[in-house]
Structure 1
Amino acid sequence: MPRLQAQEKQDVTFEQAFRGQATDIMQPLPVLKGWADADHYLEMRRDAASGRMQAMKVDARTGKAEIYTAPVDGPSVEVRNRDIYYKGVDGNSIRLTNDTLEEKNPTLSPDGRYVAFTRNNDLFSLEIASKKETRYTHDGTDVIYNGWSSWVYYEEILGRPTHYRAFWWSPDSKQIAYMHFDDTKVPVFPIYSERGQHGYLENTRYPKAGDPNPAVKVGVVPVEGGNTVWADFNEKDDQYFGMPFWTADSKQLWMQWMPRSQDNLKIYSIDPKTGAKKEIYSENQKTWVDWFDDVPFLQNNQGFLLQSDKTGWSHLYLHNMDGSLKKQLTSGNWTVKDVVSTDEKNQIIYFTARKEASTRFDLYKVSMKTGAITRLTFGNYNHIINIAPGGKYFITTYSNLQTPDRMALLDNNGKVIRELGNSKGNKFEQYNLYKPELTTYKTRDGLVLPMTITLPVHMQPGKKYPILISIYGGPNAGTVYDTWKFSPGSQWWSQEGVIQVAIDNRSSGQLGKTGMNYIHRQLGKYEIEDYMDAAMWLRSQPWADPSKICMTGGSFGGYMTDMALTYGADVFTHGMSNFAVTDWQLYDSHYTERYMDTPAENPEGYKITSVMAYANRYKGVLRMAHGTMDDNVHMQNVIQLVDKLQSLNKPFEFMLYPGERHGWRGPNALHASTETARFIYTHLLDKPFPATFNAK
């Protein structure tokens, strides 16, 4: 009888898998909008009378809900039609600038009196009440930027969320710190657009591995104007500056500094009045050191918190303001992920970590006094945490590979107050759903690493099935977690008979910085060998078709796929590579040299990690795709590999996406997914390609 019931379960249809038609397999969890205060969370609920979504303020202890009246929004600024507009608390907008040049990154001062911005690569501010404009710099050009990032800083150091902004208000609104960039010596990389009759070139100052970097200096200027006070660094040194942090009293600007080799990180305290610097912290590693995303200061200058992986695992350290170590708060062969809240009154820090298992995240608290650590989450689940201000309560969205997402509210002792939601839909039990399994594989040198395997739902004894391995593979960017990952598209491929696999290599984060250190000066070598070891184990299984072992990925995952079909050609038979690096000499300086050093310092490392070095081994079927205007991983990468394969008279598939950057959007995204499906049907399933995929 159970067998008959299993056979009666239904499959998802094409429309459900790829066109968004409802299945009711899953249902939405409550929509939370954070916390109103330490005791009330915000939940969006549908009003029965109007049908509109309404924000509700819910008492964490009792569950009592009332309509939430949001506090009056503070003032804000935005760029509209290339000018700055100020929106006051009354909701009225005022135009602050009116000129032909575009203002960028308008940012209100903490006291709301001023707005700072850049225009034509110079730094300005404007007093809102009087509309008086102050210009701080006068040397902005097409290669000199004030408060506006050079490309490599935007991409690799300050980060894309900054939108190129490289200036920071002091907490007292009396000073602005900013970075000054000189890109004169940075080589120009041309990106061609085919648009229009003649096309055009987009030129970017892009330092590739070993190239000159931008010259950078850090300055502080008074809000009323005047001379910039430059921090006491030599602008001509080959160095990097990380994200700066003002102390709460605005008396110090803390700067992160590294030499170009990126194996030494220092934090300096800068006196904004004189530019004098004082070393607060220094960390050396034989491989590389990563920037600190944040340096949380304790109140009343009681110290600061650092998260460092200098022992081989990421842990928390409490320091005095002079930099001396007060206490190491966590230790062991496990990884702290994030500090999510600090309760200074009770001397408690709340943080997430991969402590119970490297494939799961839990919430913990640690005493700043005793160092005692308490796990606050429960079960063999992966937890995504939303904590209340001060840490009195938290909400977890928890799941594992076999358990759909659920949501619960807990107190700061880990006691469940109530369950808030279950994503299992009304028809969950009516479908014959795939069941991913978490397992491990062993590398040739004895490391044990995780992977997930999803077998076909209609698996037949004795039949062999193609394997599709989806990876990324970059440092500290694992994809194997014990968490719910259902998607209708994956369900479709399981129904069609594809074994779907995810694999993490030694540098993925599962083994902390200890695992990442292996790849130093040979980025890609250990990673592809780990994937080869996993694939060899997969090939040996009775359900695997060893003639159809396919890898797919984008960016670093595209590089791994190209390596799989060349370096690993005796193991992998098929590959779909998207916007891939093919030779590390072609990628940017800061990212590449962190792991590889410069080409002059490490010529052998660059040689043995280039896809082109193994093109003569290529066999099987490789499909490559790239956007013609990719400004991150230049199309140059795939063109050089195409040229090499053609010179060797090797067959391959190649797709260009005109005008696309690093990834696909809009109609091209649909086309790319359709071509992926075509590849799977043609080369892995040996089935006719369904015409339904071609419909828009």
Structure 2
Amino acid sequence: MKKLLLSFACIAFILSSFAQASSYPSILRWLDDQHYLESKKDADGKSKIYKVNAKTGEYAELSAVTYRDEVNNALPEGFKIDRYTESTTDYNSTAYIKDKDLYYYSRLNKKFRQLTDNPGQEQNPGFSPDENRVAYTKDGNLFYIDLDSGLEHQLTTDGTDLIYNGWSSWVYMEEILGRYTRHKAYWWSPDSKKIAFLRFDDRKVLEFPIFRHKGLRGELERTRYPKVGDTNPGVKLGIIDLETKKITWVDCNCDEDKYVAFPFWTPDSKNVIYQVLNREQDDLKIYVADAVKGDKKEIYREQQSTWVEFFSDLYALNDGFVIRSDKSGWRNLYHFDFEGKLINQITKFEWRVTAINNIDEDNGIVYFTGTGESSTENHLFSIKLNGKGFKQLSKKEGTHRFMISPNNKYFIDSYSNWTTPSTRELYTMKGSLVRELGSRKGADASKPMGEVKYFTITHPDGFDMPAYMVLPVDFDPNKKYPVVFQIYGGPDSKNVRNRYISPQGHYMTNNGIIRFAVDHRGSGHFGKKRMGEIHRVLGKYDLADYTYAAKWLIEQGYVDETKIGMTGGSYGGYMAALALTKGADTFTHGWSAFPVTDWRLYDNVYTERYMDDYKTNKEGYDQGNVMLFAENLKGKLWLIHGTMDDNVHMQNTIQLVDRLLDLDKDFDFMLYPGERHGWRSIKAKHSSRLQKEFWLKEFGN
């Protein structure tokens, strides 16, 4: 449940025309320090890729069609590239999977070739930094192909259906390495001569069956899924020399009660920096290992009374490494050498550094993203490695995303705020505006929209909860209105940010319903100290803070206390179900999508991080167990779930349904056959329509 939100941030959009002020450009990536790639639609509505000069804004057509279309057009009839491909940074080459085999396409000569032809399933192709080789996994083993000779090289031999080399076990993909990796668990060295990889052994990991309702008898999908207290996959870290094919196994003292992750190569390709976290997730160590001998040395250790998270954006330098640690109570930057000596605490903010964007080691400058003084915003900053010369590079209020050119000459800023729709602008790295690239300004001018208010709610425990509401059109403070909490609510996850709220979701406010969002103490606004209060008690303070906010709303005089609703999915679905049961005296209506209903049913990495093991924290688990409060349900609750959800299993919802039936409670329930954790297309439309009908029926005017 790595912070899956119901509303996903959109990364890129297609232009409706050339660079008009009302258009929002689809920026693909930086090509080099002077040019970026942009997708545009021509007068006929066909997408093309352009190389854009950052300084002048001049467009040069790079491809008459999108890259995907170009590749597809070059293939024989019937061939179409996979959804997932791997391309070089200049888009000149791509590797892709078709019918289990690996193919290669060169944009320079407009030709493709088949790289493999065998019954195995090739997966996760990845180009070497010099772009002369492509690595991939197949049948649990790691391979690479030399693009010049076309020869396939097998690098490991012990792979099976339960032993994976360079392919991550499910729980590592979901909770540690990240879904964006798609199970990829190998890393090229900068000189393209070695590969570091993780080897997973799932033989001791218990199965969870998921049934696919297809055909006459259906199909059973078995996933190795460790729940709370279960045995974890075994993991080893290996380093392969491509010339000798020798595997060096790093002596990481790994077992099922440790997590090993994030091997980062040093710039000289001689060493690998990796991290080991204990099962309790409160003691993390960083090691550096010799890439030839496998000898390791501990260079950092961090222990906390709550939990410690992996440093997923650790930045390796020639003289050491930089990490973001929250051990001070706020996540700051620290610079260490390879002996583990602290060179410098680069930042000492009482606000949060959220990402290391890039480090210019030659000039000793760190470019990073952080909230600044306002926890609802994020900005781009720079600072010297010695802690001097701090500068804020993004000046406009709001929520920003940044794309920095390879050698730190320019950055593209995509942002919005309370009053400004999504806008993209180009800046120099000194923070000077080059030009606006496009905006959605004016797109919503003709759509009815209620007033948006941003404020804080002072909590008696000593903090101010950020909140916003969207008021109904023609709001009258002398009337009573229903309110719907729109939340996610997981640890370190914010609902309230300074960003534009599009009227696309204003069917509620156009029908007399207040849309509302607020953040609890564990959301990340208040640092690790406040976040640590939710340790071992998920479902306690988060719901209590939402309940306090609901009572505050009622006290304002314009909220109908008989119509207090909550909607959310995943962790938000859990909160909605808990609000209608444990919080039944306050919350009256809930829309709960694919919720956890008993933390013992979820995966162990996520759950034990925040809750520890059930055997040592039964009280904490029980106080957050929806099933144990089901008898309190007296409002109107909708439950929905995908039948093949491999993240939050449908088991959660089915067990709650069973409990509610035993208690003779009224509720509504919808299954989506074959769908995973969230869904798209026609079933997503059905779900959206169903939810809209629910709120309008219960709350609409």
- Do the two structures share a fold, i.e. TM-score over 0.5? yes
Q: How does 1:243-642 map to 2 (within 5 A)?
A: 243-298=262-317, 301-425=318-442, 428=445, 430-490=446-506, 492-642=507-657
Q: Which amino acid aligns with 1:58?
A: N
The Cα offsets for residues 89-143 of structure 1, whole Å up to 9 and x where unpaired, read as 5332222221122222222333344332222112223333434333333322222
CA distance in structure 2 between the aligned counterparts of 1:175 and 1:506, rounded to whole angstroms: 45
Q: What secondary structure is seen at the aligned counterpart in 2 of 1:110?
A: coil
**Counterpart for residue 50 of structure 2:** 55
Contact 1:578 1:626 in 2 (8 A): yes
- Label 1:465 to 1:409 Cα distance change in 2 as closer, same or farther (>3 A): same
Higher mean C-alpha deviation, range 448-457 or range 215-224: 215-224
What is residue 81 of structure 1 aligned with on the other side?
99
Structure 2 match to 1:3: none
> What is the CA distance between 1:48 and its match in structure 2?
6.9
Deviation, structure 1 residue 583: 0.7
Give the match for residue 68 of structure 2.
none
Q: 1:398 to 1:552 in 2, by over 3 A?
A: same
Instruction: Determine which of 28, 32, 35 is the counterpart of 2:27.
Output: 32
Residue identity in the other structure for 1:105: N
Q: Secondary structure at the match of 2:669?
A: strand
Q: Contact 1:253–1:269 (CA<8 Å) still a contact in 2? A: yes
Deviation string 1:301-356 (CA, Å, 9 cap, x unpaired) is: 22221111111111111222322111111112201112223233332222221113
With over 3 angstroms needed to count, the CA separation of the structure-2 counterparts of 1:119 and 1:675, relative to structure 1, is same
1:84 CA drift (Å): 1.4
Report the count of equivalent residues: 656
Secondary structure (helix, strand or coil) at the match of 1:342 reads strand
Deviations 1:160-192 (A, max 9, x none): 122212222222233222222211111111111
| Secondary structure in structure 2 of the residue aligned to 1:196 | coil
Unaligned runs of at least 5 residues, structure 2: 1-15, 64-88
Residues 1:663 and 2:678 aligned together: yes
Read off the aligned partner of 2:488 and give its amino acid letter.
Y
Shift of 1:669: 0.8
Distance 1:197 1:48, change over 3 A: closer
Larger radius of gyration: 1
1:265: Cα distance to partner?
Answer: 1.2
2:204 maps to 185
Structure 1 residues 398 and 76: alpha-carbon distance in aligned structure 2, compared to 1, 3 A threshold: closer
Deviations 1:33-59 (A, max 9, x none): 444443455555666799875625234
3-state DSSP of counterpart to 2:235: strand
Q: Secondary structure at the match of 1:203?
A: strand
For normalisation by structure 2, the TM-score amounts to 0.88
The question of whether the paired residues in 2 share the 8 Å contact of 1:135 and 1:225 is answered with no
Amino acid at match of 1:29: Y
Paired letter, 1:111? D
Cα distance change of structure 1 residues 141 and 427 upon mapping to structure 2, 3 Å threshold: closer
Q: Which amino acid aligns with 1:214?
A: P
- Residues 216 and 422 of structure 1: CA distance in aligned 2, closer, same or farther (over 3 Å): closer
The match for 2:60 is 67
Query: How far is the alpha carbon of 1:261 from its aligned partner?
Result: 0.9
Q: Distance in 1 between matches of 2:144 and 2:412?
A: 41
Q: CA deviation at 1:630?
A: 0.6
Say if 2:448 and 2:503, in contact at 8 Å, map to a contact too: no
Shift of 1:83: 1.1
Choose from 82, 101, 113 the match for 2:120.
101
- Superposed CA deviations along residues 572-619 of structure 1, whole A, max 9, x for unmatched, are 000000000001100001111111111112121111111112112221
8 Å Cα contact 1:117-1:124 kept in structure 2: yes
Change (3 A) 1:215 1:341: closer
RMSD over equivalenced CA pairs, Å: 2.4
In structure 1, list runs of 5 or more residues that go unmatched.
Answer: 1-21, 688-696
For 1:84, the aligned partner's letter is L
Corresponding residue SS for 1:243: strand
Change (3 A) 1:177 1:425: same
Tell me, yes or no, if the aligned pair for 2:611 and 2:621 is still in contact at 8 Å: yes
Q: 2:144 aligns with which of 104, 125, 131?
A: 125
Cα distance between partner residues in 2 of 1:108 and 1:136: 16
Preserved CA contact (<8 Å) 1:444 1:533: no
**Residue deviations 1:382-421 (CA, integer Å, cap 9, x gap):** 3333333333333333432123334444333333344444
**Aligned-partner SS, 1:677:** helix
Give percent identity, aligned residues only. Answer: 45
Q: Letter of the 1:118 partner, please give it.
A: T
User: In the alignment, residue 461 of structure 2 is paired with which amino acid?
Assistant: D
Structure 1 pair 251–52 and aligned structure 2 pair: CA distance change class (3 A): closer
Write out per-residue CA displacement over residues 471-527 of structure 1, whole angstroms, 9 at most, x where no aligned residue: 00011111201111213232x321111100111111111112222211111122111
CA distance in 1, matches of 2:386, 2:350: 22
Q: Distance in 2 between matches of 1:160 and 1:308?
A: 23
